[in-house]
Amino acid sequence: MAAMRQLAAEKVAGALKRREPEMLQDLIDRGVMRQEWLDHPGAGPITDATPLQALERTLEGLVDRRPSFLSSVGLSAVELLSAATTASEPSEVRSTVTVAFTDLEGFTRYTARQGDLAAAALLGDHYRRAGRVVRGRGGRVLKHLGDGMLMTFPEPAGAVLAAVELVEDGPPPLRLRAGLHVGDVLVDGADVVGHVVNVAARVTESAKGGEVLISRELRDALPTDDVPQLSIGRPRLRALRGVDERVAVCTVSRS
C-alpha cells in the first residue's frame, strides 16, 4: 500500500509540473501545497494547512483570477471574509483591536460589463495602494477576497484615519465603503475571531459607497485630540443582519 501511494504521489507531482506549472506555483505560494512534498513526493504531508484553510486559500486564488466567481454563487466578499473568521476553532489568545472591512460598491456590475481581466487589474492596483495606506497607519491586511478586505489595527485612531483615506482613494469608477468596530477578539494564527468581527462586517454591509461607518463603541474609544481633522456624526441605531441587538453607528468624514 505504501509503495502504491508513493507511486501515485510521484505521478501527480510529475503531471502538475508538466501541465500546470503556474497553478502549482500559486498553490505553493498560498500555502496549499508544500514545496518539500513536490520535491520529494510522498515524503510527509502534501500540506501543512487544515482542510478549511486549504479551501479558503484555494478560493482566494480562484477569485483573484476570476472575480466574477463570487457573484455567480450569490455571495459577497464581506460575507465570505467574515464567515471564514468564525469557522475554525481559535486558540485562547485575546486581544483588543479595531476590526475593519471594506468592499467596492458596484463591483459585480463592473465585472459583468468589463470582464474578469479588467476587474482583476483594477483589484490588483487597489490592493497595492490600500496596503500602503493600512501599513502606514499601523494596521495589517489579514485577508482579501474579491473586492473585500479584512484589516486589524492596534489603535482606534489609526483604523479610522486609514478607512477614510481608503474610501477617498477608492478606485474609479467604483466607490469603496468601510465599516469598523472595536473590542476583544480571539486570535487564531493570522485570523481574528468573534462577535466584534461579525459586527464590523455587518456595519460594512449597511454602509453606502463612499461612506465610512463606525460603531458607537469605536467612536467612544477615539482620543479626540488624535482625529481633529475628522467629523463624526451622531450615533444612529440600525438593525444589522445576524446581530440580535440594534447597533449604534456613526458616519465619519473629513472636517
Q: How far apart are CA 224 and CA 217, in angstroms?
A: 14
Alpha-helical segments (H) within 21-94: 21-29, 35-39, 51-65, 69-72, 77-84
Q: How far is CA 28 from CA 55, 71, 91, 117, 148, in A?
A: 14, 27, 25, 23, 23
CATH of domain 76-254: 3.30.70.1230
Whether pTM > 0.85 for this model: the answer is no
Under a CB-based contact definition with an 8 Å cutoff, are residues 113 and 71 in contact? no
Domain spans, the chain:
2-48, 76-254
> In terms of Cα–Cα distance, which of 236, 228, 209, 187 is closest to 88?
187
- pLDDT tens-digit profile, the chain (255 residues): 566 677 777 777 777 778 777 777 767 766 777 888 778 887 778 887 776 667 777 777 777 778 887 777 666 778 777 766 554 454 567 889 999 999 999 999 999 999 999 999 999 999 999 999 999 999 999 888 888 999 999 999 999 999 999 999 999 999 999 999 999 998 876 788 888 999 999 999 999 999 999 999 999 999 877 788 899 999 999 888 878 788 899 999 998
